[in-house]
Amino acid sequence: MTLSCCGHGIATTRAVAIGPAFLLDRSPLAIAPRSVDPAEVIAEIERLEEALAAAQRALQAVRDQIPQSTPVKVTEFIDSHLLMLEDAALIEPARELIREQFYSAEWALEHHRVSLGKLFGEMEDPYLRSRQDDVDHVVQHILGFLLGDRTSDADEDAELSGCVIIAHDISPADTVVLKHRGVAAFVTEFGGPMSHSAILARSLNIPAVMGVRNITSYIRQGETIVVDGETGVILADVDAGILEHYQQRIRRLEERRSHLQRLVREPSISRDGVPVSLLANLELPEDTVAARANGAAGVGLYRTEFLYMNRDGLPDEEEHLAAYLEIIHGLDGIPVTIRTLDLGVDKQVDASPASCSQVCNPALGLRAIRLCLKDPGLFRPQVRAILRASAFGPVRLMIPMLSSMQELSSTLELIGQVRNELEQEGQAFDPKMPVGGMIEVPAAALSAKAFARRLDFLSIGTNDLIQYTLAIDRVDDRVSYLYDPKHPAILRLIRMTIEAGQARGIPVSMCGEMAGSPCCVPLLLGLGLRELSMQPGSLLETKEIVRGAHIAHLGRATQELLDRMDDMEPEQLTETINRLGDFCQ
Ligand code: PEP
Ligand code: MG
């Protein structure tokens, strides 16, 4: 057996893929200042116009390939870039610089891009400010044709179906677009397993490995790559024996998946008769199909951020409502928990991960409910739409990233005002629509009793709770080895939250990735959770664990573990947690 190249990164999805590599280079092109001879001005302007036309043709070809069923937000993103390519305001100033200052076409375009950047940067509105990234993207696209030799600039018209994408980094917005273009897997140099791109890849069931440093410099375009999303191994240029081994792995995973299908209609009840509600996490309205196919009892988390991505302008109330009604309709009567907007950090509205770095510490900044309370114009249409949607089916509203009671009071006040408004307008809504909050900041877990007093349900967001408790950036692969869901501090915070909910008699669920992790499920059941929300692909495996579990035994063993964990060495703690699995057979 021979291997000419391999890499290792962070396993992100429990799936394997084999396919040709497609190097997606999102790094900006470096343009050096260059002048042309006055006699070359006409030819230089022609060169600029030819590049512009080629960029338009390439993007239009992508647009034409997108199936009708693709969500509007994906196509809108491409349409807006097509419009920019047609806009004289983009190209005319560059023409002038060539004509009057004898700039080369690349330099003129880059110069104009920088001037536009300054203009956008000064805009008050954060949304308009972020539109600079679209201009950058479109200019880079034209520059690619001017420079002529970048494969990456062909990425918008390339055939990506079945390809393994190799990239520095992939934003959540990219992930959605690439999924719709049929990619087989992602491998990135940066990014942690709890980044939103990783979560999205899991929920779309795309094998992904992240944090494989320098992979873009040693993989050749088009060579066959094996991506093992379960172990984090990347192989290139493999011989027939290795290929067969991985093809067998793919077959075994498929067999396991179809074997689990037998559980779809079986109840989620433990061996000792305790019901456990298994819910789905959704990113896009079309995910309801996977949720139903995997027997979800409801939706414990619908991440509405994706409504805002890859498009121009903000969604208005009617668009929100249309998306929620699509979900309610797709769920056929099972309840949906709609989380209000959680933009910020790595969930930007565009495909530019760079925009995070413009803030000193985005994870601690203006994110989620903080952003919404600061900008009621952004928040109100969503709250109105969620309330209006509640007239059509069982809807719960969930507030992300609460950290203080003042924040909760302001949010509840705003929801109250919206209710009054709707009532006065004669709009229908469910006056009893439950309002819950996410416990994902340590302060909220420590104050869970206070939150439980004013909310109808709590949901533990472990992705952020772990990030903020252990001070581990969930997006940074360099510290991902420290990201430990079973850390005693995390177990204590989860336990406190569950107890706070139990004391007030309100449901407590978990919607972080930990809820769907097979090695954590026995522990979570032992800690007292009876509602777990996860990406649809994990539901049946979790149901298998629940149905094998003896929850009373698990509860006693977990209590013992909590009592003794401070005296245990880390290995002993891990072993004791793993042994909880013995009560699930
Ligand atoms: C979480 O933080 O656990 C969570 C579910 O929210 P998100 O991953 O969208 O931040
Ligand atoms: Mg979160």
Q: Which of 291, 386, 376, 392 is nearest to 339 (CA)?
A: 386
Ligand 2 centroid distance, CA of 467 (Å): 9
pLDDT at position 139, please? 86
pLDDT at position 464, please? 96
Which ligand sits nearest to residue 510's alpha carbon? 1
The ligand 1 atom nearest the CA atom of 462: 3
User: To test ligand 1's pocket by mutation, which of 283, 299, 302, 303 has the most ligand atoms within 8 angstroms of CB?
Assistant: 303
Q: Kindly report the backbone phi and psi dihedral angles of residue 119, in degrees, each rounded to the nearest multiple of 5, phi listed first.
A: -60, -45
Note if 137 is an active site residue: no
List 550's β-bridge partners, or say none.
none
Which tokens hold the place of 251? 């077959």
pTM of the model: 0.76
The residue nearest atom 8 of ligand 1, judged by CA position, is 463
Distance set, CA 52 to CA 55, 149, 206 (Å): 5, 15, 34
Q: Which of 297, 337, 249, 302 is nearest to 543 (CA)?
A: 297
Phi-psi region for residue 339, left (φ > 0), alpha (ψ -120 to 50) or beta?
A: beta
pLDDT at position 75, please? 66
The span from the CA of 379 to the CA of 391, in Å, is 20
Phi-psi region for residue 191, left (φ > 0), alpha (ψ -120 to 50) or beta?
A: left
Q: Which residues of 278-314 are buried (b: 16+ CB within 10 A; e: fewer)?
A: bbbbbbbbebbebbbebbbbbbbbbbbbbbbbbbbeb
Decide the pairing of beta strands 277-282 and 233-238.
unpaired
Ligand 1 site residues (CB inside 6 A) read: 199, 301, 303, 342, 440, 461-464, 511-512
Q: Kindly report the backbone phi and psi dihedral angles of residue 324, in degrees, each rounded to the nearest multiple of 5, phi listed first.
A: -70, -35
Scanning 210-307, the segments in alpha helix (DSSP H) are 215-218, 240-260, 288-293
pLDDT at position 368, please? 94
Distance set, CA 455 to CA 108, 222, 316, 433 (Å): 57, 53, 27, 11
Catalytic residue among 81, 180, 196, 320: 196
The ligand 1 atom nearest the CA atom of 461: 3
pLDDT at position 64, please? 72
Distance set, CA 545 to CA 299, 328, 487, 564 (Å): 20, 28, 22, 25
Catalytic residue among 112, 320, 487, 511: 511
User: To test ligand 1's pocket by mutation, which of 200, 342, 497 has the most ligand atoms within 8 angstroms of CB?
Assistant: 342
The ligand 1 atom nearest the CA atom of 194: 8
String of DSSP letters for 319-334: HHHHHHHHHHHHHTT-
The ligand 1 atom nearest the CA atom of 301: 5
Note if 519 is an active site residue: no
Amino acid at residue number 280: A
User: To test ligand 1's pocket by mutation, which of 463, 509, 533 has the most ligand atoms within 8 angstroms of CB?
Assistant: 463
- For the chain, residues with pLDDT lower than 70 are 1-6, 25-30, 62, 65-77, 124-131, 133, 148-158, 345-359
Which ligand sits nearest to residue 304's alpha carbon? 1
Ligand 1 centroid distance, CA of 268 (Å): 24
Ligand 2 centroid distance, CA of 192 (Å): 14
pLDDT at position 357, please? 44
Mean pLDDT over each residue of the chain, to the nearest integer = 88
Angle at 519 between CA 515 and CA 524, to 5 degrees: 45
The residue nearest atom 3 of ligand 1, judged by CA position, is 461
The span from the CA of 282 to the CA of 327, in Å, is 9
pLDDT at position 269, please? 98
pLDDT at position 520, please? 97
